[in-house]
């Protein structure tokens, strides 16, 4: 059984969704899989669902996510690492500086303990991208958890 792995980061302020996504892409994350499919978190009639679409369809939807986030909505996007390309995180941005990453089923694991995700690998690729968005933002809390 593969555990569900989460990284929760709390900041002292909200980040711009658009600037955060841009920083993640500049850090090496991709907004779509090799087959051109990407995903965003959408509110569909009061329930949040991951919406998978071709990258060309998602560009305008991502722009709408920034507006939604500015209005106090929770927003999200799935990101894939460039190499190995199947490693992914679901990035969820909530108001009041709360950012969650759910590590995908295809994940970077510790060589010595393959049942555990390599926390150091993820932290070194996620946290610097967060701090580049707003140099004034302070990280208040970082919590890593794996649940079986």
Query: DSSP characters for 43-54?
Result: EETTEEEEEEEE
> pLDDT (tens digit, 9 = 90+) per residue, 37-80?
999 998 777 788 898 999 888 888 888 888 889 888 899 999 99
**CA 13, chain centre distance (Å):** 17
Q: Identify whether the C-beta of residue 70 lies closer than 8 Å to the C-beta of residue 76.
A: no
Q: Give 79-118 pLDDT, tens digit per residue.
A: 999 988 889 999 999 999 999 999 998 899 999 988 899 9
């Amino acid at each position: 059984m593969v555990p569900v792995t989460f990284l929760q980061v709390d900041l002292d302020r909200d980040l711009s969704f658009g600037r955060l996504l841009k920083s993640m892409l500049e850090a090496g994350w991709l907004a779509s899989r090799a087959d051109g499919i990407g995903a965003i978190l959408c509110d569909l009639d009061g329930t949040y669902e991951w919406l998978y679409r071709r990258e060309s369809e998602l560009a305008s939807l991502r722009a709408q996510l920034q507006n939604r986030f500015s209005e106090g909505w929770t927003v999200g996007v799935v990101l894939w690492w460039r190499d190995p390309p199947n490693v992914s995180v679901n990035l969820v941005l909530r108001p009041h500086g709360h950012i969650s990453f759910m590590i995908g089923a295809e994940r970077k694991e510790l060589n010595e303990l393959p049942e555990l995700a390599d926390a150091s690998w993820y932290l070194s690729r996620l946290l610097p991208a967060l701090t580049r968005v707003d140099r004034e933002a302070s990280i208040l809390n970082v919590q890593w958890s794996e649940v079986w």
